[in-house]
Chains A and B, each alone.
Chain A
Amino acid sequence: MITLEHISKSFNIKKATVQALRDVSLRVNEGEIFGVIGSSGAGKSTLIRCINLLERPTAGKVFVDGKDLCSLSSRQLTLARRDIGMIFQHFNLLSSRTVYENVAFPLELNQTPKEGITKRVGELLALVGLTHKAQEYPARLSGGQKQRVAIARTLANRPKVLLCDEATSALDPETTMSILALLKDINRQFGITILLITHDMHVVKAICNRVAVLSEGQLIEEGQVKAVFDHPRTEITKRLLNPASIFESAFDSEDAPLDNEVEPIDALSGLIGKNATEKNGGEHV
């Protein structure tokens, strides 16, 4: 359903070049839930944004539902995007529109007649359990409710594929589970192929069929979730699977004495500092 062939992406900031993705190839089958896991700055967002060409890869090809997206004109690409759903970490609901109007938004884009919109929005709000919030503005909703609205909105045009960029990272564990259950439900009920990216292995364990590990712009492991998680082949994957180990080693290590000379927090930042800087660099303006 989604095929990436030798995708590379580099950004030029002033004179420096950041290589965000290096020769990534990936195949997501129809009806599958595929997870991409990686630490901060690994290139996950860049990867998912390359699939609907929000970001154009520097090299390589993207096929979604058999269409070679890079070869489309900008008009054709705009239309093709209506078949590719996307949800975001920060929901991105329109603050000027009510819940109802937010879900109606993608239907307005392709001039759906009014009765069609009313009917479809009604179905979708029922699906995500927010019929009673139809006339509220997003500012009045909880994070979980906002993500439900975003899911309803992205399903409005019956996409075949759903891309999730850290869709649960801003939510508490309980709400995360309810959103994941909803995604799983949508996948089963409508056969929508889901590609999700996350830094949280619990998300992958909860709903993914297959998983790929992204590190410094490269795919370093790929396979069935159970196989990859039970027998990680690389150090990086092991660390992703056991994030606590990084803290333990920081405190146990000889280099991190717990006296006044070095604050423990410094020892920690020595270990995670690289990621921390990359994270800041990765924020978009």
Chain B
Amino acid sequence: MSESMVHMLGGGLLETVLMTFLSGLIGFLLGLPVGVLLFLTRPGGIWAHRTAYQITSVVVNAFRSVPFIILIVWMIPFTRAVVGTSIGMFAALVPLSVGAAPFVARMVENSLLEVPHGLIEAARAMGATPIQIVWKVLLPEALPSLVNSASITLIALVGYSAMGGAVGAGGLGQIGYQYGYVGYDAAVMNTVLLLLVGLVFFIQWLGNTISRSVDHRK
């Protein structure tokens, strides 16, 4: 493999890593409050509110059911309006983040549901406001589970970003597409594959390590 190939693959890896983690971060910032809202407003919740829950729930489900490749194309006008272009890594961040957010929201809702109900009761009995319950009880108690959700989301985003590569998002996905679909180069393809697998393993390892270190439930 030539030096320029190595250079290109290195650049592709960097782009994929950036795309994954940046869109994961934005997706989490968008999805976390929505997940908390779902948890609070669900029937029997602290702020039980039928209409709010159902509307949020329907929106989340609608976004989750759109196949990612369709989402990218469908969002092109919006992406252009936000980033100025629909091609390249930064353009890809828009659909990736929007695709990740509803996924994150459901995972956050599930993580919060795992928090023992007695803890919320105790906090209410001590005179905690709903906001304090969210910040001081729900999120810290759900942290190990939230970290696991984050690694699952990031791993899904590695896959999404590679799909984005096929429509010009850059990264390892685009390299794989060009050197595999357009003209087959076995060395490049195998390297791309190994890099993607390595990245997924790394994310899983990182997630497990962090999750374990913040878990004091024994």
Contact = CB atoms under 8 A, between A and B. Distances in A.
A139 B127 contact: no
Interface in A82-140: 82, 84, 86, 88, 90, 92, 94-97, 105-106, 108-110, 137-140
B140 A97 contact: yes
Contacts of A79: 127
B121 A54 contact: yes
Give the interface residue-count category, chain B: 20 to 34
Interface residues of A, number: 32
B143 A54 contact: no
B127 A106 contact: yes
A139 B125 contact: no
Interface stretch (B30-38, B74-82, B129-137, B201-209): B129-137
Contact of A137 (B117, B136, B137, B216): B216
A110 B132 CA distance: 10
Contact of B122 (A92, A97, A139): A92
A94 B121 contact: no
A75 B137 CA distance: 19
Contacts of B121: 54, 88, 92
B22 interface: no
A105 B127 contact: no
Contacts, number: 68
A88 B122 contact: yes
Contact of A154 (B126, B136, B140, B217): B126
B67 interface: no
Given A105-B136, A139-B218, A78 B127 contact: yes
Nearest to A90: B118
Contacts of A109: 126-129, 132, 136
Interface in B39-96: none
B124 A96 contact: no
Interface of A: 52, 54, 75, 78-82, 84, 86, 88, 90, 92, 94-97, 105-106, 108-110, 137-140, 153-154, 157, 163, 284-285
Smallest CB-CB A-B distances: 6 pairs: A82-B127, A92-B122, A81-B127, A137-B216, A139-B218, A96-B140
5 contacts: A86-B122, A90-B118, A96-B140, A96-B143, A109-B128
